[in-house]
Structure 1
């Protein structure tokens, strides 16, 4: 039976890998993972390195971080071909993806590629811990109570869009997670300051890595931040609390 396992490896801390992810790696003969630069390092492989023993074959797959649709489609197709060739040769293949495999994940593109062109290949998905759930746990900020709403969204392209998102969130008692903050922080920080929301926001960067930073947004200047950064914004709390 042709089987590919796609597993999330969490945000960065190896101890946050699930038992299912560890078992999938241990039972594999080939460990595959994405790289954004040919010959470059893979964060997913680094996170799971403790369980990638010397007897495992490694298969880095190139996924360029570009907006070119032709280049993206080409990389997905090539990656799918490589994986299928390994599987047809009798290998037990696991593909590692940072965070959770269903949320802004390279693994999701692989899933759809293989479903379209190799429908007879069985694919098993193993979820992983997200960066924002890890950040919430570390900062001890509950993401949602009772009937509260919860929104996860990449930073929008304009101040106007973000103001609308935050205004609706306040009205609906909705907790907001802003992903892909990075260089956008240079304009997001002044907007939050204008809206008096810095005190209500938790900033997190490189969650799970040795150099992670998690603190209130009031402690941070407006200079550009690293790509792996996010914001948790809670504008209100339930009326009934301990």
Structure 2
């Protein structure tokens, strides 16, 4: 049964009933013999209870066992399970005491996996340490559609940082000697200022403090880092006057489609922003969050959008400018940096977060057409003359580069694809494979492979990207009937 986080009064009625009905009470302990679980349940133990103390052979990963730490623990759990099985075979009811909840990072689960299929079993849930910590802080863990992530502090710093950056709220458990790593991960993910430290919640020696102020040498194993709901923070930021200090603009790449293509870092910055700025279509891909301000605009006002975002940051706001794909590939990063290079925005901090590009997304759907050298060219002549585009197409084609062609057509640009095909056919054979990727990752995804000679401009629009193979690019039909496209990494010698 789960005994809750430490305060005996937080035990459930059912847990008390089970102890009263039990013949045997089992609990885990370190070699010193003390057991937190037993101390919680002590007032309910009787003199006639048979007590089974399951003593861990090691409490750190240092051991001379031939199987290492994992081998020592596996042997211990097997032996402990058989000790309990002996009581069960004798007809005795066994109550296994567990702090918190038995199936939440608890030692009981190792008994459960070894015994529950052999004997009638009941698991009594308990109040978790995470719930207790939130209660002691007096702060909501999650609200509305926020996501709560539970993490063990034993993860590598980089993994912790990625997960902390991507989530709304979090609890990091098993601190102790992992505290410096957890603190570094919180700082690396930009979440340290919002992190709270809670030690032995609901116990007599409990302690809570801003995590950044905690001495690493004072941190025991029974403590955790808590990142509570962001709603309160964004609500407060929305109501507060602009800060005196300059804010920040972060240009965020959303990838080509939905949330599966979003990096953890980008997800975290979108959640942390006070203001979101972007083209309406792209902004609609970002979930609405309480307290955030959203500033949508048309796709043809990049310069104005960039200056608007920088002006918000200059007044102390934390701004995320959203961009489809990668913001540095024919997208908003250039517009923001161009404006930020001039007065009055030179002092505004600007960061660019990468995203999955449309070219790489489309390539992944058919194999590896970009497996060798390739060039990226936009067919839009709105910002550069067609003569420049034609020269670059011819030069890249003559160099035998695979081509990723962005912005191939729109309602007002219907002839560029046909003209590009003519230029390319001067250097490529008619059967050169061309990948047409439209809305890759989205609900209307369509990916087709055609020959260069059969490329139909009428089947290409602004949401399509074209990948044109080199002389070495191959198409192969696999055993399941699908066609793949790939460009060898080795180029023939001349």
**TM-superposed deviation, 1:191:** 4.9
What residue is the counterpart of 1:85 in the other structure?
86
What residue is the counterpart of 1:41 in the other structure?
34
| Correspondence 1:83-232 to 2 at 5 A | 83-115=84-116, 119-169=117-167, 174-193=168-187, 197-223=191-217, 225-232=219-226
Against the structure 1 CA distance between its residues 23 and 188, is the aligned structure 2 distance closer, same or farther, given a 3 Å change threshold? same
Against the structure 1 CA distance between its residues 192 and 74, is the aligned structure 2 distance closer, same or farther, given a 3 Å change threshold? closer
In the comparison of the two structures, how many residue pairs are matched?
A: 226
Structure 1 stretches of 4+ moved >4 Å:
193-196
What residue is the counterpart of 2:247 in the other structure?
none
CA deviation vs aligned residue, 1:152-205 (integer Å, no higher than 9, x gap)? 011254332222112212xxxx21111112122224335545655333111111
Gaps of 5+ in 2: 62-68, 232-288, 292-494
**TM-superposed deviation, 1:13:** 0.9
SS of 1:8 mapped into structure 2: coil
SS of 1:83 mapped into structure 2: helix
Gaps of 5+ in 1: 1-6
What residue is the counterpart of 2:15 in the other structure?
21
Larger RCO (CA under 8 A, 6+ residues apart): 1
Note if contact 2:153-2:179 (Cα within 8 Å) is conserved in structure 1.
no
Query: TM-score, normalised to structure 2's length?
Result: 0.43
Note if contact 1:66-1:72 (Cα within 8 Å) is conserved in structure 2.
no
Note if contact 2:141-2:148 (Cα within 8 Å) is conserved in structure 1.
yes
What residue is the counterpart of 1:4 in the other structure?
none
**TM-superposed deviation, 1:66:** 4.8
What residue is the counterpart of 1:71 in the other structure?
72
Could you tell me how far apart the structure 2 residues matched to 1:76 and 1:191 are? 32
Against the structure 1 CA distance between its residues 221 and 192, is the aligned structure 2 distance closer, same or farther, given a 3 Å change threshold? farther
User: Does structure 1 residue 30 correspond to structure 2 residue 24?
Assistant: yes
Could you tell me how far apart the structure 2 residues matched to 1:66 and 1:158 are? 17
Give the greater-gyration-radius structure (CA).
Answer: 2
Against the structure 1 CA distance between its residues 222 and 66, is the aligned structure 2 distance closer, same or farther, given a 3 Å change threshold? closer
What residue is the counterpart of 1:239 in the other structure?
290
Note if contact 2:136-2:201 (Cα within 8 Å) is conserved in structure 1.
no
Against the structure 1 CA distance between its residues 235 and 207, is the aligned structure 2 distance closer, same or farther, given a 3 Å change threshold? closer
